[in-house]
Structure 1
Amino acid sequence: MSESKKDQMGTISPQDAFKFIKKHENDSNLVVLDVRPRDEFAAGHIPGAKNLDYDGHQFRKKVLNMDKDKKYIIYCKSGVRGEYFMGIMKELGFHHVYNILGGFVGWNISKLPLEEGKSGGH
């Protein structure tokens, strides 16, 4: 990691996440990760999200070979696992990871756009 690179991590509101995703919607360096089980993902998710079913303790192994310089927005059902997994990503050397406050529930309550039915597996 170069010394000029500043890590950006933290929890962001669903509204700020939505604005960030819209601003970077054509940016291949932004990845939205849904860490809920596949069946929950299939029932509804944030548009463009990729499902990375956290699979118990397999998360670390699954993200180990992902590009650490991309920007990630991560969410789970309520925000708790997302916060935990954001910490793991930081430990593994990721630089830009944001967890959505309230997770999918917070996004849904905020009446932000949803997408259904795609597998989007990673």
Structure 2
Amino acid sequence: MRLCYDPADDVLVLDLVLPPQLAPTSIPTIAHARGLLDLTDRGSLAGLEIPLADLPPALAELCRALADDEEVTYVEIERVVATRSFRSVTVPIAIRWDGQQRLSLRIPRRTADYELLYPAGAT
């Protein structure tokens, strides 16, 4: 997984490269969902929870293969010590599939409800 910032669209981009055996042939190239972005007490981006019910069926099945849970997929962004406290913010997610092996999760850096001060992660 790779996290980067796309200044042209002012979004954070999480690129997930899938194993070839999981790469489906027919899922939507773009989907939209709402997720919960977890931030640590120090402002780091800890992870992103995506409810599978918000996704098109083929994309939800792909995400189920990546997760242990039937209802959500959690993408860990940064490994954190368990004693840290978290806060969460609801974020819109644009999900792009390249048709091969890469799933990109695109999160706006700011909306009317929040602003992420990437790379610090503060809101």
Which has more radius of gyration?
2
| TM-score greater than 0.5 by the shorter chain | no
TM range (shorter): under 0.3
With structure 1 as the length reference, what TM-score do the two structures score?
0.26
**Which structure has more strand as a fraction of its residues?**
2
**Which structure has more helix as a fraction of its residues?**
1
With structure 2 as the length reference, what TM-score do the two structures score?
0.26
